[in-house]
Amino acid sequence: MEILEELARLFPVWDKLSVAERESLAAAVHTRRFSKGENIHGTGESCLGFLILKSGRLRAYLLSDSGREVTLYYLNAGEMCLFSASCMMRNIQFDIYIDAKEDTDVLQIPAPAFKNLMEKSLPVSRYVNDLMATHLTDVMWLMEQILFKRLDERLAALLLEDAKGSPENAVTATHEELAERLGSAREAVTRMLKYFQTEKLVKLSRGEIRITDPAALSAVIAEPRT
Amino acid sequence: MEILEELARLFPVWDKLSVAERESLAAAVHTRRFSKGENIHGTGESCLGFLILKSGRLRAYLLSDSGREVTLYYLNAGEMCLFSASCMMRNIQFDIYIDAKEDTDVLQIPAPAFKNLMEKSLPVSRYVNDLMATHLTDVMWLMEQILFKRLDERLAALLLEDAKGSPENAVTATHEELAERLGSAREAVTRMLKYFQTEKLVKLSRGEIRITDPAALSAVIAEPRT
DNA sequence: CCGTTTTCAGTGACTTTGTCACCGGATTCC
DNA sequence: GGAATCCGGTGACAAAGTCACTGAAAACGG
């Protein structure tokens, strides 16, 4: 079976499961595809369960009453989506939204099957623990950034981080995407980028920011703009 | 043994442990007292392990480079302190600080013993999972508040919440404590309280805020100050 | 291909909140 | 009964969010 092979390859604790557990898991798992832009968690009451990304990209974010969005993290191929299964954990009581940033193929383990596994299998419980700790770390990091760092520092750090591995030293993103990842406002990012441009740190064009002076941009992080 | 009785009474999954697990836990656990104001986690490299509060009160907070503090949550008698054991979880990589707000007596399960238990016992792993989810929920809630709500709303909500159960409808706290719980600045809280006072919503005195018009204060939450 | 719609960036005016530098009065501690 | 510390208050300022609107660039739909 194709799907079992994928499960064995992608589910990190597969090799720690008993034969019976593997069988019940195999019986429950199935594949699913989400289209780019589709909301997969948050608005409806549907409880997808645990997702394993075969390909594509998901975005998890907070949404305010007034419609402001703050990105918490992205999930890429090979990663696990835990909070699509949050409905089965009574201690998780916040509203998180998850969209597909690209067309995304997943292995889906429905909530009942995953819940059962989580309650019966120590390796799975420990793995969920690891995931939870990782997400908590992500959120705490973002919180520290928002509370304690200035926008110029954070934006500079984000640009440098994102430009890594890009041949042109460029970041492909709209100001709005950057603002959401920074927990800031689009206009504030636009203005800060303009300022960076006047200082010859970056070159702006629609949908792209090219870093022209990485060293000076790094200096912004250490020594915020005067 | 006095201490074993306490452990059985206070440790939530005691009755789900095997005899061997109870014995190794009993051999490792001991009592400890922290004095009011003492820092118990964050600065040093000490790794206390898992703490069960017999009495007193702990405060967990973030600390910025410049010394600003933001309170994440309090722990009261009967509650568990997980992050004093964070050193043994490699996926937890943020700096959290914990102080004793009052003289506090705890049962301490040193990190090695607790780690072993967490890795071997499904009930313990599941319980740690619950704790982690609870803290994640706390942090997400705070983050939403900070990102999406105005200070007047948050302060009004905090005052009303804290005054619950007080006969005088009063909150005993300094402006600084309130500011830290709101992730805000002391001066901003002082000014907002002053404003509330001019609007006859509260009456201020040193270390205490008496709510004189709870209904109007509730209205601030629904309809932020004009 | 062209016109329409949507997305993206830019900007000014204003509000909210955080920061810095003080001050003075209350409380606590020798 | 002083000295030190804590707490609250305040003005001036800076950073960043909000609101309202603009025009240009891309995407879409016949």
**Residue in B203, B41, A173 with CA at minimum distance from that of residue A182:** A173
Q: Are A215 and A163 in contact (CB under 8 A)?
A: no
Q: What are the percentages of helix, strand and coil residues in chain A, rounded to 5?
A: 50, 25, 30
Residue A225 — very low, low, confident or very high, per pLDDT cuts 50/70/90?
low
Residue type, B186: R
Would you give the distance in Å from CA A214 to the centre of its chain? 26
What band does A1 get if pLDDT is binned at 50, 70 and 90?
low
CB-side exposure of B124: number of CA atoms within 13 Å?
19
CA dihedral A142, A144, A145, A148 (to 10 degrees): 160
Express each pLDDT in B133-164 by its tens digit: 999 999 999 999 999 999 999 999 999 999 99
Give the separation between CA A53 and CA A78, rounded to whole angstroms. 5
Distance B71 CA to C8 C1' (A): 38
User: Among A130, A136, A147, whose Cβ lies nearest the Cβ of B64?
Assistant: A147
CB contact under 8 A, B139 and A139: yes
Rounded, the Å distance between the CA of A187 and C1' of C11 is 9
Q: What is the pLDDT of residues A166-193, one digit of tens each?
A: 888 999 999 999 999 999 999 999 999 9
What is the pLDDT, as a whole number, of residue A224? 63
Tokens coding B17: 């442990």
Give the bridge partners for B211, in sequence order: B202
CA distances from B2 to A46, B6, B15 (A): 49, 7, 17
Mean confidence (pLDDT) of chain B: 94
- Residue A226 above 60 pLDDT? no
A184 touches strand D (CB under 7 A): yes
pLDDT (mean) for A116-143: 97
Find the residue closest to D25 using CA and C1' atoms.
Answer: A206
In which band, very low, low, confident or very high, does the pLDDT at A222 lie, cut at 50, 70 and 90?
Answer: confident
pLDDT digits (tens, 9 = 90+) for B81-110: 999 999 999 999 999 999 999 999 999 999
* pTM of the predicted protein model: 0.93
Range scoring the smallest mean pLDDT among A134-138, A220-224, B203-207: A220-224
Does residue B30 approach strand D to less than 7 Å at its CB? Answer: no
Q: How many CB pairs under 8 A join A and B?
A: 106
Taking CA atoms, B194 is separated from B47, B190, B206, in Å, by 43, 6, 13
**Looking at the C1' of nucleotide D16, which residue has the nearest alpha carbon?**
A188
The C-alpha angle with vertex B121 and arms to B120 and B126, in degrees rounded to 5, equals 125
**Which bases of chain D are under 7 A from a protein CB atom?**
6-12, 15-20, 25-26
